[in-house]
Chain A
């Protein structure tokens, strides 16, 4: 369905989150690198990579307010509850 997708896996294993786990999908093909999700996230979940695209480096900090999704002007960001592996597998079909 959606052509290009990116998933960044969280690597810090020591810290435990008080919120349920979420996964972030960023569609680079649609993203226009405006930086709204990176700058306006109150929990600093995202960073900008060297090409200017957002990358979710701390999904464990996410409190699931959903403002990054609703403020993304290009529908390029999607949050999926859980690890999101099933969704990713379905989308490959």
Chain B
């Protein structure tokens, strides 16, 4: 093992902003650590990285990270990031969004950023609920779960973020979880390396709101449920079809080579100069 978080602190604004505002056992901090480890392992300079976040629990990510950061309006993180990437194509842009932020309020921005295939890394913190505003149902709340706006159980079907991203045209689609942190680090690195729009859905527990409404127990129990209900990409090959039934697979779900928007735009400028 390497000492994993020895270098993490140089990428955090820990002197001013710590301790984290998130609840006890919230998985957002685990994803924040994974994002930092991925950037650190790729050796990208602080000045060449930009973190864009929307509104919600996940929106606090840009406050804690010591990079170029942009805290934007609700759902519009991808729209701001698109403008940023086009103005400064040399930057590595990571967009941190919650599930409601990315798919409900910013749903249109999400599918069109994927269709455009612009070189962004969208990390979607999927905690199945609107945590910050008090537990309303979000587009990824599973059918039958209880929320503050669905006291008798949710009657709607949830979005499958990976399938939505793939169908909309994203170049790289993957799913990770806060229990499988080593795999999450790998996926984060692959998503950052990919030239094109990469979507990384991270399943994260919300013990305070979602866990309490649905009686899922403590944060530890919610992580153990992730262990039992999700299958990591390294284990999936060794398991039979019966064992895999009813489980959600992690890992790379789609990987395509498609023309990237910034490169195409450069070509267009060259063509226009020649004409």
Contact = CB atoms under 8 A, between A and B. Distances in A.
Interface of A: 1-2, 29-30, 32-36, 39-40, 64-67, 69-81
B220 A40 contact: yes
A32 B4 contact: no
A32 B182 contact: no
Interface of B: 1-6, 8-9, 12, 14-15, 18-20, 22-30, 33-34, 37, 178-179, 181-182, 185, 207, 218-220, 223-224
Among all A-B residue pairs, the 4 with the closest Cβ atoms: A73-B29, A34-B25, A32-B24, A64-B1
Contacts of A32: 19, 23-25
Chief secondary structure at chain A's binding surface: loop
A82 to B, nearest CB: 10
B6 A80 contact: yes
A24 B7 CA distance: 15
Contact of A71 (B1, B26, B178): B178
B9 A75 contact: yes
Given A35-B218, A40-B223, A65-B1, A75 B26 contact: no
9 contacts: A33-B24, A35-B220, A36-B223, A40-B224, A66-B3, A70-B4, A70-B5, A72-B33, A77-B5
Contact of B19 (A34, A40, A74, A79): A74
Contacts of A71: 30, 178-179, 181, 223
Given A1-B15, A72-B33, 8 more contacts: A29-B19, A34-B218, A40-B224, A70-B34, A71-B178, A71-B179, A73-B29, A74-B29
